[in-house]
């Protein structure tokens, strides 16, 4: 789905945006081990304070209770936060020894702290890390353990109902029956939850099975009443006819409650996001020694390609345990024979194209590569799409949701192998894979919009339809003057929805959604 400049609500009938789709609440449980003992006649009385980062400043978010005389506390108070996949949510956990009744933290002895992103905790479900002092030296042997759990209720209920021998209500034909479900509102009045379809001209309707979230039906409370009459009673007929039984019955044919897994369920269940970068090194980008080049080797250490790598990579790297990401280039001539390649490792190691240390490693390999290649052409996408698709195809053997592949392509120009790329994308749409295209510069990106299946279903040149929309295109020029976080939000907004869509379609559950 394409980025819409200026934002705004989705069109009528459009699927919910990914950022809305995956906003949910996460509960963090905190415990400490081997904390520093700051008390002379007893042990420390620790409590934990959570800080969140806002515009470069740490703001206190919440704090736990105090554990009396305990160097290995397990705090009962939990931290509850909204989780946003497409943002870097920086957190700092600081432990203090309570000495006074004051709420001022400088009145208490500092025991150590630990900082990370919420994504790091969520991707691991549970982490244990050393506590550090203000000078970044170890706080003795002190450790902190943080476990994440989703709080959202994702259960859904599927009901199948039928009617038998209902009353005839139409003068010249049979009734047109439908069902309505109500739950009690906060004001004590009954509130409509669901209405079935109308079935024309029948006194024995069989309604289509329908699914509603359990929170919509009964606020997630299995003991809460809902209003649905199973024996249809007409009070007027009941008063007039002594032998009156009913005006038909409603039959509950089946009732099934399932868990409607969310993106966070899959991440907490151990699904890893496998990130690959594809970089356009065609001649239209300009000489990297020229300040006008999109690949300009800038003394300030950035250009549009690096900005796009950073924006996406800083989010994705939290969701891959080894922080090893392949980075590939296309459209360049390579030494020593200067043949054109559309699928080369930018670290020049074809057997191991992985860059270590996450997004930092990708940026370093990219900068080191620039002086050693010749920009050329054409702009072929299909080799890199097929490269990642081969690995995604291997992952289709998984019995649970363990791997999902993301290809970030950064390019400045028109696709030269459009037919081959369309075919490659259609085939990739059947796999655990998404493609993000960031267009840099001021070229005509109509082809990218075409691959992004918003206005119509993408088809290959043979007429085969894509199984789902897996391409997200974003023009970098829309974000030149925006905060760097804005690009990440636009680029990654729909990824959670695509991940959930694939695994649900394949009936693949998370490995586990409980902290280890």
For 422-437, write each residue's pLDDT tens digit.
Answer: 999 999 999 999 999 9
Q: Residue 351, SS3?
A: coil
pLDDT in tens, 176-205: 888 888 888 767 777 777 888 888 889 899
Amino acid 486: pLDDT? 87
Amino acid 172: pLDDT? 65
The answer to which of 52-56, 169-173, 482-486 has the lowest mean pLDDT is 169-173
Mean pLDDT of the chain: 87
Q: How confident is the model at residue 60 (pLDDT cuts 50, 70, 90)?
A: very high
Alpha helix ranges (H) inside 155-280: 214-218, 235-240, 263-268
Three-class secondary structure assignment of 67-109: CCCCCCCECCCCEEEEECCCCCCEEEEEEEECCCCCCCHHHCE
Amino acid 227: pLDDT? 65
Task: Decide if 378 contacts 331 (C-beta within 8 A).
Answer: yes
Query: Which of 336, 413, 415 has the alpha carbon at shortest distance from 373?
Result: 336
Given a cut of 50, is residue 516 above it in pLDDT? no
Q: Judging by beta carbons within 10 Å of its beta carbon (0-12, 13-18, 19+), is residue 182 exposed, middle or buried? A: middle
Rounded to whole angstroms, the maximal C-alpha distance in the chain is: 101
Amino acid 374: pLDDT? 96
Non-local (6+) Cβ contacts of 165 within 8 A are: 203, 204, 248, 249
pLDDT in tens, 460-482: 988 999 999 999 998 988 887 78
Give φ, ψ of 469 to 5 degrees: -80, 115
Given a cut of 60, is residue 75 above it in pLDDT? yes
Which of 4-8, 47-51, 252-256 holds the top average pLDDT? 47-51
pLDDT in tens, 18-35: 333 445 889 999 999 999
The answer to which of 210-219, 303-312, 406-415 has the lowest mean pLDDT is 210-219
Alpha helix ranges (H) inside 296-357: 304-316
What is the arithmetic mean of pLDDT over 369-393?
96
Amino acid 15: pLDDT? 35
Amino acid 237: pLDDT? 82
Amino acid 16: pLDDT? 34
pLDDT in tens, 225-267: 766 676 677 888 888 887 887 888 887 777 777 777 889 989 9
The answer to which of 37-46, 366-375, 428-437, 506-515 has the lowest mean pLDDT is 506-515
CA distances from 210 to 10, 216, 219, 253, 261 (A): 25, 13, 18, 12, 18
Given a cut of 90, is residue 377 above it in pLDDT? yes
Give the pair of three-digit tokens for residue 324: 């090893």
Non-local (6+) Cβ contacts of 419 within 8 A are: 460, 461
Amino acid 512: pLDDT? 65
Whole-number Å distance between alpha carbons of 318 and 407 = 16
The answer to which of 143-157, 183-197, 368-382, 460-474 has the lowest mean pLDDT is 183-197
Amino acid 11: pLDDT? 33
The answer to which of 347-351, 390-394, 451-455 has the lowest mean pLDDT is 451-455
pLDDT in tens, 343-366: 999 999 999 999 988 899 999 999
Higher pLDDT, 511 or 173: 511
Task: Decide if 389 contacts 426 (C-beta within 8 A).
Answer: no
Higher pLDDT, 142 or 170: 142
The answer to which of 91-95, 309-313, 391-395 has the lowest mean pLDDT is 309-313
What is the arithmetic mean of pLDDT over 62-86?
93
In sequence order, what E strands does 318-416 have?
325-330, 332-334, 339-341, 344-345, 354-355, 374-375, 403-411
Given a cut of 80, is residue 269 above it in pLDDT? yes
Which of 131-135, 149-153, 198-202, 439-443 holds the top average pLDDT? 131-135
Amino acid 22: pLDDT? 45
Amino acid 83: pLDDT? 93
Give the pair of three-digit tokens for residue 16: 């919910």
């Amino acid at each position: 789905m394409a980025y819409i400049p200026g934002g705004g609500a989705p069109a009528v009938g459009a699927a919910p945006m990914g950022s809305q789709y995956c906003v949910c609440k996460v509960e963090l449980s905190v415990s400490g081990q081997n904390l520093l003992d700051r008390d002379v006649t007893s042990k420390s009385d620790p409590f934990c304070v959570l800080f969140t980062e806002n515009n470069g400043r740490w703001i206190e978010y919440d704090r736990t209770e105090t554990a009396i005389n305990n160097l290995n506390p397990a705090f009962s108070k939990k931290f509850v936060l909204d989780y946003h996949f497409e943002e870097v949510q920086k957190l700092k956990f600081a432990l203090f020894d309570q000495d006074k009744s004051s709420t001022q933290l400088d009145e208490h002895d500092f025991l150590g702290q630990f900082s990370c992103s919420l994504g790091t905790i969520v991707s691991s479900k549970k982490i244990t890390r050393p506590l550090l002092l203000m000078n970044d030296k170890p706080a003795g042997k002190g450790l902190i353990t943080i476990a994440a759990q989703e709080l959202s209720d994702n259960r859904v209920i599927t009901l199948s109902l039928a009617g038998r021998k209902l009353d005839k209500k139409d003068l010249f034909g049979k009734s047109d029956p439908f069902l309505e479900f109500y739950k009690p509102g906060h004001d004590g009045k009954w509130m409509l939850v669901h209405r079935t379809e109308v079935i024309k001209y029948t006194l024995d309707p069989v309604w289509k099975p329908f699914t509603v979230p359990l929170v919509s039906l009964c606020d997630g409370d299995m003991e809460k009443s809902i209003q649905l009459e199973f024996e249809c009673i007409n009070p007027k007929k009941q008063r007039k006819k002594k032998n009156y039984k009913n005006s038909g019955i409603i039959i509950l044919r089946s009732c099934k409650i399932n868990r409607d897994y969310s993106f966070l369920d899959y991440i907490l269940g151990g699904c890893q996001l496998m990130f690959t970068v594809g970089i356009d090194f065609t001649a239209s980008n300009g000489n990297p020694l020229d300040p006008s080049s999109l690949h300009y080797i800038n003394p300030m250490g950035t250009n549009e390609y690096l900005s796009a790598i950073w924006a996406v990579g800083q989010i994705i790297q939290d969701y891959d345990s080894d922080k090893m990401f392949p980075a590939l280039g296309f459209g360049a001539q390579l030494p020593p024979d200067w043949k054109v390649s559309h699928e080369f490792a930018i670290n020049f190691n074809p057997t191991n194209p992985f860059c270590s240390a996450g997004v930092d490693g990708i940026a370093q390999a990219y900068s080191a590569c620039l002086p050693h290649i010749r920009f050329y052409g054409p702009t072929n996408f299909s080799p890199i799409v097929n490269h990642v698709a081969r690995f995604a195809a291997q992952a289709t053997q998984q019995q649970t949701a363990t791997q999902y592949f993301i290809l970030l392509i950064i390019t400045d120009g028109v696709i030269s192998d459009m037919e081959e790329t369309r075919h490659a994308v259609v085939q990739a749409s059947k796999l655990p894979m998404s493609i993000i295209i960031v267009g840099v510069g001021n070229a005509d990106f109509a082809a990218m919009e075409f691959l992004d299946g918003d206005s119509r279903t993408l088809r290959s040149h043979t007429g085969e339809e894509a199984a789902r929309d897996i391409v997200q295109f974003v023009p970098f020029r829309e974000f030149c003057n925006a905060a760097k976080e804005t690009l990440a939000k636009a680029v990654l907004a729909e990824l959670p929805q695509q991940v959930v869509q694939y695994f649900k379609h394949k009936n693949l559950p998370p490995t586990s959604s409980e902290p280890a």
